[in-house]
């Protein structure tokens, strides 16, 4: 066996290591993007408070129609009201399976990390950069913002 040939077990081991490294790099990139989005949201929340931009009560929408109240307050990021930014700075997907319990007692959407691009990876193709979604909520907030967004 020459030195440039690898056994099937060595090849499989190399592939596993390469896949693990790619997964690590993807997680690092995603963490960096989420950290940037969280800094943007933090600056927006501070500016919204200075501007007096009041959060609204958020409602969840069912996959098959209907709505349910939530205990959340915040701002809808899309016109169809399926995603929102909570006043706690978390991102919420408000499109949920709503059963009788949720319709009567309210829904509890799970918080998620804020994305830099709202709707990315969604099936409807409706994507909007986070900065543009926040600009629609409070036009000119970036110019008034006292915190650098970089």
Q: Can you give the three-state secondary structure of the chain, one letter per residue?
A: CCCCCCCHHHHHHHHHHHHHHHHHHHHHHHHHHHHHHHHHHHHHHHHHHHHCCCCEEEEEEECCCCEEEEEEEEEECCCCCCEEEECCCCEEECEECCCHHHHHHCCCCCEECCCCEECCCCCCCCCEEHHHHHHHHCCCHHHHCCCCCC
Q: Are 84 and 92 in contact (CB under 8 A)?
A: yes
Contact call for residues 45 and 87 (beta carbons, < 8 A): yes
Q: Are the beta carbons of 92 and 55 closer than 8 angstroms?
A: no
**What does the pLDDT look like over 39-49, one tens digit per residue?**
999 999 999 99
pLDDT at 71: 96
pLDDT, position 126 = 81
User: What is the predicted pLDDT for the residue at 3?
Assistant: 54
pLDDT for the residue numbered 149: 76
Supply φ then ψ for residue 98, to 5 degrees. Answer: -105, 115
Residues of the chain with pLDDT under 70: 1-4, 121-122, 150
pLDDT at 1: 47
- Any idea which residue has 């701002």 for tokens? 75
| Packing angle, helices 8-51 and 130-137, rounded to 10 | 20
pLDDT of 50: 94
- Residues 37/43, Cβ–Cβ less than 8 Å: no
Look at residue 9 in the predicted model and tell me its pLDDT: 87
Q: Both tokens of residue 47?
A: 């500016």
Q: Can you tell me the distance from the alpha carbon of 37 to that of 85, in angstroms, rounded to the nearest whole number?
A: 12
């Amino acid at each position: 066996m020459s030195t440039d040939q690898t056994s099937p077990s060595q090849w499989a081991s190399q592939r596993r290591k390469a896949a693990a490294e790619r997964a690590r790099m993807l997680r690092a990139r995603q963490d960096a993007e989420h950290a940037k989005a969280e800094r943007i949201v933090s600056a927006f929340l501070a500016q919204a408070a200075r501007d007096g931009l009041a959060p609204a009560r958020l409602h969840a929408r069912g996959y098959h129609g209907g709505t349910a109240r939530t205990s959340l307050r915040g701002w809808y990021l899309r016109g169809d009201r399926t995603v929102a930014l909570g006043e706690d700075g978390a991102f919420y997907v408000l499109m949920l399976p709503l059963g009788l319990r949720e319709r009567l007692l309210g829904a509890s959407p799970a918080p998620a990390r804020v994305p830099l691009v709202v709707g990315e990876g969604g099936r409807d193709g409706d994507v909007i950069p986070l900065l543009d979604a926040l600009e629609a909520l409070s036009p000119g907030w970036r110019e008034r913002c006292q915190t650098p967004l970089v």
